[in-house]
Structure 1
Amino acid sequence: MSNPVYDLQDVTLSLKGNAGTVDILRGISLQVQQGESIALTGASGSGKSSLLMVMGGLERATGGKVTALGHDLSALREDGLARFRQGRMGIVFQSFHLIPTMTALENVATPLELSGADDAFDRARAELEAVGLGHRINQYPAQMSGGEQQRVALARAAAPRPAILLADEPTGSLDSRNGAAIMDLLFELRDRHGATLVLVTHADDLAQRCDRVVQLADGRIV
């Protein structure tokens, strides 16, 4: 078998708060292969979103080792993690995190420009057309519905053609119709770019569309 996209070995995450130290992740070991789709499920507070953040290098593990695409994320500083994510990872959140003063086209093109792409606006336009927003490229986030804003966020995540797509409850703030459309698009983007997909979800029907379901409880894989 080829080298896994992700190799997590005995990963722990503890956060200090007013009431003392809280153990969020308790010895997570997990491998994810290239092109695989994984659903992280579990009750609120089970650690699934924290695990996704650790896998994205957005939260640093307290212990253990997180290897992504052959790179030890545990050994990278913040600037190194940012450089690693650039072009390699696309991340979609429940909150859209669009820049309100930028049009849809500018929101999608900006990460491409930052990575030095010469064709940033052409690629951004193509991705927006792929998610059905070719007619909305010059609109600002405030002029769009929630479903449209999430489509822009998907286009932005997919535009660099990343090896890894991470999604944290991407349909959580949408109604059922828009949520279903967004998930169809997410799987289409995965297939089109050959990306590995890891998503956090409460929805059983969505989880069952993935190749594998990883259930968490109390910071451990069940």
Structure 2
Amino acid sequence: MTEPVLTLQNAALSLDGNAGPVEILRDINLTVKEGETLGLVGPSGSGKSSLLMLMGGLEQTTSGRITALGQDLTSMSEDALARFRRDAMGVVFQNFHLIPTMTALENVATPLELAGHRDAFDRAEAELAAVGLSHRRDHYPAQLSGGEQQRVALARASAPRPRILLADEPTGNLDETNGAAIVDLLFGLRDRHGATLVLVTHSHSLARRCDRVVRLRDGRITEEASQEAAE
């Protein structure tokens, strides 16, 4: 039986609003197995991105427990969470979050250097080649198109060969052609490194490529379906 890489038990998230606490997520119980591709779908404001942030330790639960690769994320300090993400997770955001003063190659190499890899730039070059951007290695983010910036972000997330890859609307800021190319690259990187992939999306075609789809509404899971059932 495949071991889970992510387990959420009665996870909840509340944030302080002007009128008091606002419940973002409630009673989330979810298990993600190793090598699985999971799509998080639902209307805007349903809690999809917040759930992804909880999985990555980028938001702390108000209550409940989250376990990733056998580690209890809810009991970790911010520094411990940062080290865990560095060593075990890759995160791809909708808005790229590239460092504007660094070239594409430097952006990809940075997390590898922080992790102490002596071959950081060699591995960064290989990842840029894998996303078709060897010829743009010395360009800065402002000199790249949106699709190219997202490719750099994908290369940066996958370069440390994480066991868990999280993607928040990876095609949200791209046109249809670039979005389709990014999806192919994302699944290709997942296959190449054997990572478990969890992604937030509004795209029905992207969701259909996932092994399983979880639908959220008003901060709760309302439906889980395998790929066959989702179709």
TM superposition score normalised by structure 1: 0.99
Match of 2:196 in 1: 196
Q: In 1, Cα distance between the equivalents of 2:154 and 2:205?
A: 20
Once the 2 structures are TM-superposed, how far is the Cα of residue 87 of structure 1 from its aligned partner? 2.2
**Structure 1 SS opposite 2:199:** strand
Aligned to 1:146: 146
Partner of 2:5: 5
1:17 aligns with 2:17: yes
Following the alignment from structure 1 to structure 2, what is the Cα–Cα distance between the partners of residues 82 and 134? 29
Aligned twin of 2:206: 206
Aligned to 1:59: 59
1:136 matched residue in structure 2: 136
* Corresponding residue SS for 2:148: helix
Alignment of 1:1-222 (within 5 A): 1-222=1-222
Shift of residue 54 of structure 1?
0.2
* Overall identity of the aligned pairs, in %: 73
Q: Distance in 1 between matches of 2:2 and 2:196?
A: 14
Please state whether the residue corresponding to 2:87 is helix, strand or coil: coil
CA distance in 1, matches of 2:174, 2:109: 24
Distance 1:106 1:61 in 2: 33
Report how far residue 49 of structure 1 moved. Answer: 0.4
1:202 Cα offset (Å): 0.4
What's the CA shift for 1:20? Answer: 1.0
Q: CA deviation at 1:2?
A: 3.3
Unaligned segments of structure 1, at least 5 residues: none
CA RMSD of aligned residues (A): 0.5
1:5 is paired with a residue of what secondary structure? strand
Q: State the one-letter code of the partner of 1:64.
A: G
- The TM-score normalised by the length of structure 2 is 0.95
User: Amino acid of the residue matched to residue 183 of structure 1?
Assistant: V
Alpha-carbon distance in structure 1 between the residues aligned to 2:7 and 2:56: 13
CA deviations over 1:135-164 (Å, ceiling 9, x no partner): 110011111100000000000000000000
Secondary structure, counterpart of 1:38 in structure 2: strand
The 1-side partners of 2:133 and 2:19 are apart by 47
User: Which digits, 9 at most, give the CA deviation of each residue in 1:161-209, with x for residues without a partner?
Assistant: 0000000000000000000000000000000000000000001110010
Residue 19 of structure 1 aligns to which amino acid in structure 2?
A
Give the AA of the match of 1:59. Answer: E
